[in-house]
């Protein structure tokens, strides 16, 4: 029996004695710690930022966001023209581009991509479902005029069209690869991007290798390995032990660990806003003064600095500053002023009101919702509002909040990440977006002037004109306070010091073509 | 004996059927639906309805269940929409990872549990007994996910002797040694609680046997103590120990859920957790059927082993 013990002991000692070089990652291969296993590598079929991080390196769209901004620039399309009425967009395509499977990229391919997503009778529509296809619901028709020209006809002017094309849902896939792999295309993807798909080992890794013929210059990296590491603590441990070169979404508690000490910390505020929906239809929040009071009463600085440990910035209004071209930088966040809040509440006669507050346990972009909810509850107690918290798991939470708060709650946490300044206000602040009209205006905010501004901004194809309308909208919404504006999330990432040329983008996409290791 | 095994094998069927019905019902009772889970913030009633239709989830629960059942009986477990691939491929791939992890853990906890049980029983109330019993108590009480994190911190982050997570090295990996390196920490963590349980029960089973007449007779005849312990007493105690190991096999399988999450082990436990949060009914069903079948089989094996060791146990 002692022999067995000895053998086990020896085996353990053997394993322990492995050299320290074990955890080094190979040269020219970048290993990225992701937050989850991707669902699919078919850009039309996915909705999660986690999946987008891989896709943006494998595919190109007709247009893309400029480096460090949320304005579009040419990508697979060299140029485009918009008709005066805003109904037709004609794209001139880049010539000589081929998909990773060797088939040529041309106007027919573009047509195939959008028809597959939008036309229920298309032979490959069943390779879906395509949950975000409504991004392109404005498209009436796509036509390949000649090999290098493609024309989109819209059913109504829709200004966010170009930035939706820059979104991952608009990335162009190889039609031949779709035909070949059919429903399994999401696991055998083929695009035109800087990296080619090589291997997907379930729950272990997705490997992409360099596309030597990339039209925009080949990467210096030989390959990228995306590893799903769901548990944040394990992700941190892998980063500290050198098992990965880069990690995204560092938990607030661990951010400081990666500032120096052989690591570089990257932060970038993005098109994200964290807010409280206030039920303007009934109860105390039907009174604008009480809604403003809540904005004064919440100590956003403490939330951002202590609860979120600096991983977010204070939000001033409904539009995140990342949309620099449409952002109204004249807006100031509501200052922390409990006295003012109290006097507003008294004036409205709602002193000591009891409020129901929906809090979620987690969810996309929700940051640290439970401690944030508790801190907000405490702040409101200081101004005499009795807040009762109800906490729900994310999917349940959405099922309660999206149909509207009427009869159920006075306030609810919410966060959105969008790609165009149009999206969030159009879906969540218009009168036409009340839940009964299939929108997300769960707090029933209604201001005809905001409605008019948003409709006009959506129809205009002149960016300066749109910017003016959005700035005006932000001013009104800031004053009307249909939400309590809390925070704009700063996305973060850590890289080892040996990783060079990496930069986070305000779009929250992870672009790795120009990264080097050495 | 063969009749007994066949009967037990057939009794798995109603267990599995009942189980799939319960899981199906629970999945439909949890608020939220797959379309909401997929669409997230974009889950308007309109989008949800369309996506549910595309996913074939607009039928009644009963209808959905029977469609699933008849497909499954023909070997078609359906397609997971959260992973976008056939359920069976995913489950089998993941289950083999879980089997490696929990199998190793089971071997570890059986070996150590039985050894510690015998040692402590042989030296009842001695120092070895007190110290080992104390360690065993700690082992049972430590939350295993926490222990796992501490082990990662020590061996992966501080000492850099072992990888922090995963099953194989991500580049140029593969092979038995690579697997063993990745397996050591998670299997050790997973085995700790079960080791404690097995050790305690082995100890009491051994003490029970050691008090009996045939042991006293053996000692009086001058049989060496080693032989008394390992050959006579342990053999008799095995009848009690084997079912405990059978039950622990189930716990180890269940515990794999946390350990797989902490160590990023690509196993079926973590898959189930993700499938549930994604409301991926088909994947949950497929996973549960396989895990439950395996659990029932473990218990069956333990019963067979027991009846083989002790013919008094009715077969």
Specify whether the CB–CB gap between A484 and A252 falls below 8 A.
no
Band of the pLDDT at A457, cuts 50, 70, 90? very high
Q: What is the pLDDT of residues A346-401, one digit of tens each?
A: 999 999 999 999 999 888 788 889 999 999 999 999 999 999 999 988 878 888 89
What is the structure's pLDDT at A8? 45
A251 within domain boundaries: no
Q: Residue B190: its pLDDT value, please?
A: 93
> Dmax over Cα atoms in chain A, in whole Å?
88
In this structure, the answer to whether residues A404 and A511 fall within a common structural domain is no
User: A160 pLDDT exceeds 70?
Assistant: yes
**Pair A280, A424 in one domain:** yes
According to the model, what pLDDT value does residue B20 have?
85
Residue A515 or residue B300, greater confidence: A515
- Residues A323 and A436 grouped into a single domain: yes
Task: Indicate whether A327 and A432 sit together in one domain.
Answer: yes
SS (H, E, C) chain B: CHHHHHHHHHHHHHHHHHHHHHHHHHHHHCCCCHHHHHHHHHCCHHHHHHHHHHCCCCCCHHHHHHHHHHHHHCCCCCEECCCCEEHHHHHHHHHHHHHHHHHHHHHHHHHHHHHHHHHHHHCCCCHHHHHHHHHHHHHHHCCHHHHHHHHHHHHHHHCCCCCCCCCCCCCCCCCHHHHHHHHHHHHHHHHHHHHHHHHHHHHHHHHHHHCCHHHHHHHHCCCCHHHHHHHHHHHHHHHHHHHHHHHHHHHHHHHHHHHHHHCCCCCHHHHHHHHHHCCCHHHHHHHHHHHHHHHHHHHHHHHHHHHHHCCCCCC
Predicted confidence (pLDDT) at residue A5 exceeds the cutoff of 60: no
pLDDT computed for residue A74 by the predictor: 97
Q: Nearest CA of chain A to the CA of B16: how many Å? A: 27
Neighbours of A77 (CB within 10 A): 26
**Dihedral over Cα of A355, A356, A357, A361: its sign:** positive
- Give the separation between CA A185 and CA A40, rounded to whole angstroms: 9
Element (H, E) at A12: helix A2-16
* Cross-chain Cβ contact B79/A183 below 8 Å: yes
Residue A104 pLDDT: 96
Nearest residue, CB atoms, B261 vs list A45, A230, A237? A230
Using the predicted structure, report yes or no on whether residue A61 has a pLDDT greater than 90.
yes
pLDDT digits over B30-80, tens only? 777 778 777 776 777 777 888 888 777 778 888 888 888 888 888 888 888
Residue A26 to residue B31, Cβ atoms within 8 A = no
* A500 φψ region: left (φ > 0), alpha (ψ -120 to 50), beta (else): beta
Question: Are both A169 and A286 inside the same structural domain?
Answer: no
More confident residue, A103 or B172: A103
Q: Where is average pLDDT lowest: A87-96, A236-245, B4-13?
A: B4-13
| Mean pLDDT to the nearest integer, A430-459 | 93
Indicate the average pLDDT of chain A: 91
Are the C-beta atoms of residues B208 and B184 closer than 8 Å to each other?
A: no
Residue A352 — φ and ψ, nearest 5°? 75, 15
Residues of B in contact with A435 (CB under 8 A): 45
Q: What's the pLDDT score for residue A466?
A: 95
Domain ranges of chain B: 2-73, 94-310
More confident residue, A476 or A16: A476
Residue A224 has pLDDT above 90, yes or no: yes
Stretch A406-429: mean pLDDT: 93
Instruction: Report pLDDT for A20.
Output: 39
> Are A231 and B261 a contacting pair at CB < 8 A?
yes
- Could you give the angle at which helices B234-262 and B268-277 cross, rounded to 10 degrees? 50
Percent of chain A at pLDDT above 70? 95
Q: Between A11 and A384, where is the model more confident? A: A384
How many structural domains are present in chain A? 2
Q: In this predicted model, what pLDDT tens digit does every residue of A447-456 receive, in sequence order?
A: 999 999 999 9
Q: What pLDDT is attached to residue B27?
A: 81
Residue A64 phi, psi dihedral angles, 5° rounding:
-145, 170
Q: What is the 3-state secondary structure (H, E, C) of A28-68?
A: CEEEEEECCCCCCCCCCCCCCHHHHHHHCCCCCCCEEECCC
- Give B274's contacts in chain A (Cβ within 8 Å): 36-37, 230
Q: Does the beta-carbon distance from A243 to B165 stay under 8 Å?
A: yes
The 10 Å Cβ neighbour count of residue B213 is 7
CATH label of the domain that carries residue A482? 3.10.105.10
Residues A457 and A404 in one domain: yes
For B141, other C-beta atoms within 10 Å of its C-beta total: 9
* A176 and A314 belong to one structural domain: no
- Per-residue pLDDT, A10: 43
Least confident of A187-196, A382-391, B217-226: B217-226
A462-466, B84-88, B201-205: segment of lowest average pLDDT:
B84-88
**Per-residue pLDDT, A24:** 64
Q: Which of A183, A241, A394 sits opposite B156 (nearest CB)?
A: A241
* A191 close to A172: Cβ distance less than 8 angstroms: yes
Mean pLDDT computed over B272-289 = 85
The two tokens of residue A208 are: 């992409």
Taking residues A19-32, report their average pLDDT: 70
What does the mean pLDDT of chain B come to?
A: 86
At residue A17, the pLDDT reads 41
| Per-residue pLDDT at A264 | 95
* Whether A326 and A238 share a structural domain: no
Same domain, A151 and A195: yes
Per the structure, the complete domain to which residue A156 belongs is given by 3-9+28-245+498-517
Determine which of B160, B175, B259 to mutate to test the interface with A (most A C-beta atoms within 10 Å).
Answer: B160
pLDDT at A18: 42
From the CA of B315, how many Å to the nearest CA of chain A? 32
Write down the pLDDT at residue B172: 67
Res A16 pLDDT > 50: no
For residue range A324-350, what is the model confidence (pLDDT) as tens digits? 999 999 999 999 999 999 999 999 999
Residue numbers in A near B156 (CB within 8 A)? 23, 237-238, 241, 243
pLDDT band of B313, cuts 50, 70, 90: low
Task: Identify the H or E element spanning A415.
Answer: strand A411-417
Residues A503 and A483 in one domain: no
- A65 domain residue, yes or no: yes
Q: Which two tokens stand for residue B229?
A: 């312990």
Where residue A128 sits, what CATH number does that domain have? 3.40.190.10
| C-alpha radius of gyration, chain B, whole number | 24
pLDDT for residue A7 is more than 50? no
**The model's pTM:** 0.83
- The top-level CATH class assigned to B94-310 is mainly alpha
Long-range contacts of A328-331 (CB under 8 A, 24+ apart): A328/A470, A328/A471, A328/A474, A328/A475, A330/A471, A330/A475, A331/A474, A331/A475, A331/A478
Say what the pLDDT of residue B164 is: 87
pLDDT of residue A365: 85
**Do A180 and A55 belong to one domain?**
yes
Dump pLDDT digits (tens) for B130-159. 998 899 899 889 888 899 999 999 998 888
Query: With contacts defined as CB-CB under 8 Å, which chain B residues touch A399?
Result: 31-33, 36
| pLDDT score recorded for residue B111 | 94
d(CA B145, CA B136): 17
Tell me: pLDDT of A56 over 70. Answer: yes
Chain B residues with CB under 8 Å of A230 CB are 261, 264, 270, 274
Higher-confidence position of B7 and B113: B113
pLDDT in the model for residue B57: 76
For the segment B79-92, what is each residue's pLDDT rounded down to a tens digit? 887 777 889 888 98
Is the pLDDT confidence value at B108 over 60? yes
Chain A with chain B: Cβ pairs closer than 8 A: 178
ipTM of the complex: 0.76
A237 and B165: CB-CB below 8 Å? Answer: yes
Over residues A93-111, the mean pLDDT reads: 96
- A interface test, pick of B84, B108, B229 with most A CB neighbours within 10 Å: B84
Assigned domain for A261 exists = no
**What DSSP element (H or E) covers A207?**
strand A205-210
Instruction: State the average pLDDT over residues A298-314.
Output: 93
Strands A246-248 and A483-496: antiparallel
pLDDT, position A348: 95
Same domain, A55 and A152: yes
Q: If you average pLDDT over residues B240-265, what whole number do you get?
A: 86
The answer to which of A3-17, A105-119, A428-442 has the lowest mean pLDDT is A3-17
Q: What pLDDT score does B64 carry?
A: 84
Give me the residue label for tokens 């560092």. Answer: A250
What are the structure tokens assigned to A87, written together? 């109904």
Rounded to the nearest 10 degrees, what angle do helices B87-122 and B234-262 cross at? 130
Q: If DSSP codes are grouped into helix, strand and coil, which group holds residue A383?
A: coil
- Is residue A19 predicted with pLDDT exceeding 70? no
Say whether pLDDT at A403 is over 90: no
pLDDT for A1 equals: 40
Percent of chain B at pLDDT exceeding 90: 21
């Amino acid at each position: 029996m002692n022999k067995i013990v000895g053998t086990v002991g020896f085996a353990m000692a053997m394993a322990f004695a492995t050299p320290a070089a074990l955890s080094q990652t190979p040269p020219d291969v970048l290993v990225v710690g992701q937050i989850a296993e991707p669902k699919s590598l078919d850009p039309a079929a996915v909705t999660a930022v986690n999946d987008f991080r891989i896709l943006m390196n494998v595919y190109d769209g007709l247009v893309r966001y400029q480096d460090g901004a949320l304005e579009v620039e040419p990508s697979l399309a060299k140029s485009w023209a918009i008709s005066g009425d805003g109904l037709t967009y004609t794209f001139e395509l880049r010539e000589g581009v081929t998909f990773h499977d060797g088939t040529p990229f041309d106007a027919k391919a573009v047509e195939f991509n959008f028809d597959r997503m939008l036309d229920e009778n298309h032979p490959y529509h069943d390779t879906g479902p395509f949950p975000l296809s409504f991004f392109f619901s404005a498209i009436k028709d796509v036509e390949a005029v000649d090999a290098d020209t493609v024309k989109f006809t819209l059913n109504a002017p829709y200004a966010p069209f170009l930035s939706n094309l820059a979104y991952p849902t608009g990335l162009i896939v190889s039609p031949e690869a779709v035909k070949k792999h059919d429903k399994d295309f999401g696991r055998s993807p083929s695009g035109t991007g800087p990296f080619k798909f090589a291997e997907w080992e379930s729950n272990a890794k997705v490997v992409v290798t360099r596309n030597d013929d990339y039209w925009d210059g080949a990467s210096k990296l030989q390959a990228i390995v995306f590893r799903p590491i769901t548990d944040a603590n394990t992700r941190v441990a892998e980063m500290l032990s050198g098992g990965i070169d880069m990690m995204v979404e560092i938990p607030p508690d661990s951010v400081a660990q990666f500032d120096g000490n052989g690591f570089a910390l990257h932060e970038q505020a993005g098109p994200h806003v964290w807010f409280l929906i206030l039920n303007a239809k009934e109860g105390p929040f039907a009174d604008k003064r009480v809604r403003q009071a809540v904005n004064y009463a919440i100590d956003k600085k403490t939330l951002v600095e202590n609860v979120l440990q600096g991983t977010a910035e204070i939000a001033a209004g409904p539009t995140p500053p990342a949309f620099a071209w449409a952002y109204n930088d004249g807006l100031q966040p509501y200052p922390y002023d409990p006295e003012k809040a109290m006097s507003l509440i008294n004036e409205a006669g709602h002193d000591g009101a009891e409020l129901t507050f929906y809090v979620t346990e987690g969810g996309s972009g929700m940051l640290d919702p439970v401690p944030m909810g508790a801190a907000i509850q405490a702040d409101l107690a200081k101004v005499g509002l009795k807040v009762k918290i109800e906490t729900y798991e994310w999917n349940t939470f959405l099922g309660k909040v999206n149909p509207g708060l009427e009869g159920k709650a006075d306030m609810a946490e919410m966060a959105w990440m969008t790609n165009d300044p149009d999206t969030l206000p159009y879906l969540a602040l218009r009168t036409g977006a009340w839940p009964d009209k299939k929108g997300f205006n769960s707090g029933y905010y209604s201001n005809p002037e905001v409605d008019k501004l948003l409709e006009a901004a959506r129809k205009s194809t002149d960016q300066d004109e749109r910017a003016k309308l959005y700035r005006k909208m932000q001013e009104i919404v800031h004053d009307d306070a249909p939400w309590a504006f809390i925070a704009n999330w700063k996305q973060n990432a850590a890289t080892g010091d040996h990783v060079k040329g990496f930069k986070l983008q305000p779009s929250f996409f992870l672009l790795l073509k120009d990264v080097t290791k050495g | 004996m063969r009749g007994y095994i066949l009967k037990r094998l057939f009794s798995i069927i109603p267990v599995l059927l009942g189980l799939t019905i319960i899981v199906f019902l629970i999945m439909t009772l949890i608020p939220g639906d797959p379309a909401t889970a997929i669409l997230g913030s974009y889950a308007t009633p309109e989008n949800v309805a369309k996506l549910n239709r595309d996913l074939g989830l607009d039928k009644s629960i009963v209808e959905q269940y029977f469609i699933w059942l008849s497909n499954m009986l023909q070997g078609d477990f359906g397609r997971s929409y959260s992973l976008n691939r056939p359920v069976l491929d995913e489950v089998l791939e993941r289950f083999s990872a879980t089997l490696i992890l929990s199998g190793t853990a089971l071997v570890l906890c059986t070996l150590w549990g039985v050894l510690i049980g015998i040692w402590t029983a042989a030296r009842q109330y001695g120092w070895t007994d007190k110290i080992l019993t104390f360690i065993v108590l700690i082992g049972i009480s430590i939350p295993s996910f926490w222990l796992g994190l501490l082990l990662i911190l020590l061996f992966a982050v501080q000492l850099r002797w072992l990888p922090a997570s995963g099953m194989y090295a991500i580049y140029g990996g593969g092979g038995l040694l690579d697997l063993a390196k990745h397996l050591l920490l998670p299997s050790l963590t997973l085995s700790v609680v079960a080791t404690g349980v097995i050790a305690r029960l082995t100890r009491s089973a051994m003490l029970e046997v050691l008090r009996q007449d045939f042991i006293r007779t053996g000692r009086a005849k001058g049989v060496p103590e080693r032989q008394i312990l390992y050959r006579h007493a342990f053999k008799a105690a095995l009848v009690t120990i084997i079912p405990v190991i059978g039950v622990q096999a189930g716990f180890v399988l269940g515990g794999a859920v946390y350990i797989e999450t902490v160590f990023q082990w690509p196993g079926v436990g973590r898959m189930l957790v993700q499938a549930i949060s994604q409301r991926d009914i088909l994947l949950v069903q497929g996973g549960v059927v396989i895990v439950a079948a395996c659990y029932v089989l473990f218990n069956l094996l333990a019963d067979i082993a027991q009846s083989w060791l002790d013919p008094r146990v009715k077969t």
